Amino acid sequence: MEHLLELRKLIGHRPILMVGAAILVVDSQKRLLLMKRSDSGCWGPPGGATEPGEYVEQAAKRETLEETSLEIGEMALFGVFSGPELYYKYPNGDEVYNVTIVYLSQDWHGSVMINHEHTDFHWFAVDEIPENISPPIIPVIEQYKRAGDDNVQRSKFL
């Protein structure tokens, strides 16, 4: 995050290419953990920007720990998402084109405790996922919904 703050001092709100990582955390009942963002009120999985020189896998686990207090064990690659639909303008005016690497994990430990970036969390069954998903996460959630039972199969290999 420090890197992005320094970069924003130089370029202001202009669009940047941002590499992010997220984890679709699934519980034993095959429900997906989503959190409500404090800045937009939209739902999304834990995740965030990678730092320079950081492995994407480490960033995904670090962000999940920071945002949920959950420690992630094994995880599998769910997908890499990019393109114009991952453009996002934050409420503060910062613009990004995201490249997001998403993992799936059912191997986690701890109890969910959200940080200041979120106001709420909930475990959602696939057919209960809310409509107000954070815009750059919509393609991820759409693929997650389409995968359906395949998500269950993937989680067996985690």
Tens digit of pLDDT for each residue in 86-108?
A: 999 988 999 999 999 999 999 99
Q: How far apart are alpha carbons 13 and 24 in whole angstroms?
A: 29
Average pLDDT over residues 145-156: 66
> Domain map of the chain by residue range?
2-156
pTM metric for this prediction: 0.88
The confidence score (pLDDT) of residue 151 equals 62
Q: What is the CATH number of domain 2-156?
A: 3.90.79.10
26, pLDDT greater than 90: yes
154, pLDDT greater than 80: no
Q: Which helix (H) or strand (E) holds 146?
A: helix 138-147
Angle at 128 (CA atoms; ends 92, 18), nearest 5 degrees: 30
The confidence score (pLDDT) of residue 36 equals 97
Is the pLDDT higher at 157 or at 59?
A: 59
